[in-house]
């Protein structure tokens, strides 16, 4: 199983590197980055305090390409980078938490890129392989991880300093999250901020052209209405003589987006989801009811070209079985396939605890 997982991660990397190589032929400068990380674990529930005292450390190599052409500039009045990172983190608790290796695609809008000293914000979503998992008898303290392949989400703030046309220094504040999205329990998920420093090397010298910047025309604000089909699943725990089973979660969502600036958008929506996990857990307790969950959401979406990164706060309007707060967060990464179609993945969380990861297919009106 471990060999298959490693083969899958390597295959994913090679596939993405092939696309990068193809893009590099279209005069998009190729970059190679190296970073070291050091951080801490947030004990977001009482059960995690005893195993959250270690300080994760690790390293990262990233390959990406700079979007510095006229077309990229016209899409957002900015420059950006796209690429993929390979991250290794050691959680400094070998027997309980172990380590992880993650393959993580990213999008990185640049701020003030023509200057010698500039910044960026990076959004990331990928897969992580974990070496140590929860086991009721052999590793009961590890409530963070219970499935060998989990999702890695990250947000970064980066500062760069150009040494010459080839080399840059970088320093970053990183917020990292690993969770299996509810595929298997326990699934507390780990939140671990890190600070990192490193260098970036360009394969060819490049610059950021001084394209004319057009002031955002408020009269040309764009709105977008999207209807999405939603599909997910969550495993029930193996307990009290009941076997674990993957239960479906499905439904629909409607989203309305209003442009605030070149990249910034207000995002409002509603969703109605049937929760098969809740149904099974209620039936185990001998209870019955309505298993549809209806909610309203509001938040922000950063849109760079075809890619959108959103953060929304949701409130339940209807939920018969409520074992969590009335409010929840939903983080999303979307990609517009065409003028009418988009795909997305979103993570639903209650405070610091990841609940469900879903996949969405949307039609844009």
% of the chain beyond a pLDDT of 90: 59
Is residue 218 over pLDDT 80? no
User: Residues for the chain: how many in total?
Assistant: 365
Return the pLDDT at 189: 87
In this prediction the pTM is: 0.78
Domain co-membership, 155 together with 84 = yes
Of 257 and 325, the one with more pLDDT: 257
Whole-angstrom distance, CA of residue 69 vs CA of residue 229: 35
Q: In the structure, what pLDDT confidence band is assigned to residue 26 with cuts at 50, 70 and 90?
A: very low
Q: pLDDT tens for residues 281-291?
A: 999 999 988 99
Domain co-membership, 151 together with 60 = yes
- Average pLDDT score over residue span 143-167: 93
In a domain, 194, yes or no: yes
Return the pLDDT at 27: 66
Return the pLDDT at 207: 80
Which of 145, 174, 202 lies at the terminal end of a domain, its last residue?
202
Return the pLDDT at 70: 78
Cβ of 352: how many Cβ atoms within 10 Å?
Answer: 16
Task: Provide CB contacts within 8 A for 15, sequence distance 6+.
Answer: none
The radius of gyration computed from the CA coordinates of the chain, to the nearest angstrom, equals: 21
- Average pLDDT score over residue span 107-134: 92
In a domain, 208, yes or no: no
Q: pLDDT tens for residues 321-334?
A: 887 889 999 999 89
In a domain, 213, yes or no: no
Return the pLDDT at 3: 45
Of 61 and 75, the one with more pLDDT: 61
Classified as helix, coil or strand, 278 is: helix
In a domain, 175, yes or no: yes
In a domain, 145, yes or no: yes
Of 274 and 43, the one with more pLDDT: 274
Domain co-membership, 245 together with 134 = no
Task: Provide CB contacts within 8 A for 127, sequence distance 6+.
Answer: 9, 12, 102, 103, 104, 149, 150, 151, 152
In a domain, 210, yes or no: no
Containing structural domain, residue 80: 2-202
Number of domains in the chain: 2
User: 61-75, 169-183, 193-207, 273-287: which has the minimum mean pLDDT?
Assistant: 61-75
Q: In the structure, what pLDDT confidence band is assigned to residue 271 with cuts at 50, 70 and 90?
A: very high
What is the secondary structure of 280-321 as a DSSP string?
Answer: HHHHHTT-----EEEEEEEEEEEEETTEEEEEEEEEEEE-SS
Domain co-membership, 224 together with 353 = yes
Domain co-membership, 156 together with 241 = no
Is residue 4 over pLDDT 70? no
Going from the C-alpha of 145 to that of each of 48, 167, 182, 204, the distances in angstroms are: 12, 38, 11, 41
Domain co-membership, 121 together with 264 = no
CB 336 within 8 A of CB 346: no
CB 36 within 8 A of CB 59: yes
Domain co-membership, 177 together with 299 = no
Domain co-membership, 181 together with 257 = no
Is residue 292 over pLDDT 90? yes
Domain co-membership, 19 together with 74 = yes
Is residue 46 over pLDDT 90? no
Task: Kindly report the average pLDDT of the chain as a whole number.
Answer: 87
Tokens 């390979």 correspond to 86
CA-angle at 124, arms to 335 and 227, nearest 5°: 30
Is residue 161 over pLDDT 60? yes
In a domain, 215, yes or no: no
Domain with 262 in it: what CATH number?
Answer: 2.40.160.20
Return the pLDDT at 119: 95
Q: pLDDT tens for residues 66-84?
A: 888 777 777 777 888 999 9
Is residue 260 over pLDDT 80? yes
Q: Residues 206-242, buried b or exposed e (16+ Cβ, 10 A)?
A: bebeeeeeeeeeeeeeeebebebebebbbbbeeeeee
Domain co-membership, 44 together with 76 = yes
In a domain, 256, yes or no: yes
Domain co-membership, 155 together with 280 = no
Domain co-membership, 128 together with 242 = no
Tokens 């339940």 correspond to 316
């Amino acid at each position: 199983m471990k060999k298959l997982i490693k083969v899958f991660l390597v295959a994913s990397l090679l596939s993405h590197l092939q696309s990068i190589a193809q893009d590099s032929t279209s005069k998009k400068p190729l970059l190679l980055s190296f970073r070291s990380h050091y951080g801490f674990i947030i004990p977001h529930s009482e059960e995690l305090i005893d195993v959250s005292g270690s300080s994760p450390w690790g390293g990262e190599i990233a390959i990406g390409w700079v979007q510095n052409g006229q077309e990229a500039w016209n899409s957002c009045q900015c420059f950006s980078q796209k690429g993929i990172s390979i991250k290794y983190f050691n959680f400094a608790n070998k027997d309980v938490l172990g380590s992880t290796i993650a393959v993580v695609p990213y999008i990185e809008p640049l701020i003030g890129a023509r200057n010698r000293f500039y910044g960026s914000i990076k959004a990331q979503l990928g897969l992580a392989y974990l070496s140590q998992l929860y086991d009721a008898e052999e590793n009961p303290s590890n409530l963070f991880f219970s499935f060998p392949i989990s999702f890695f989400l990250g947000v970064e703030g980066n500062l760069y300093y150009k040494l010459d046309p080839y080399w840059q220094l970088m320093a970053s504040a990183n917020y990292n999250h690993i969770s299996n999205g509810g595929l298997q329990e326990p699934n507390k998920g780990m939140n671990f901020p890190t600070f990192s420093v490193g260098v970036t090397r360009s394969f060819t010298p490049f610059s950021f052209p001084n394209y004319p910047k057009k002031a955002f025309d408020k009269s040309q604000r764009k709105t977008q209405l999207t209807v999405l089909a939603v599909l997910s699943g969550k495993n029930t725990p193996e307990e009290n003589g009941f076997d674990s089973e993957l239960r479906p979660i499905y439904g629909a969502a409607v989203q309305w987006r209003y442009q605030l600036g070149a990249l910034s958008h207000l995002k409002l929506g509603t969703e109605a989801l049937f929760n098969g996990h809740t149904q099974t857990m209620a039936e185990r307790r001998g209870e019955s009811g309505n298993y549809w969950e209806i909610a309203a959401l509001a938040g922000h979406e950063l849109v760079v070209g075809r890619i959108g990164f959103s953060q929304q706060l949701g409130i339940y309007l209807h939920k018969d079985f409520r074992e969590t707060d009335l409010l929840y967060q939903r983080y999303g990464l979307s990609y517009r396939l065409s003028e009418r179609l988009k795909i997305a993945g979103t993570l639903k969380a209650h405070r610091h605890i990841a609940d469900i990861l879903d996949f969405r297919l949307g039609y844009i009106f």
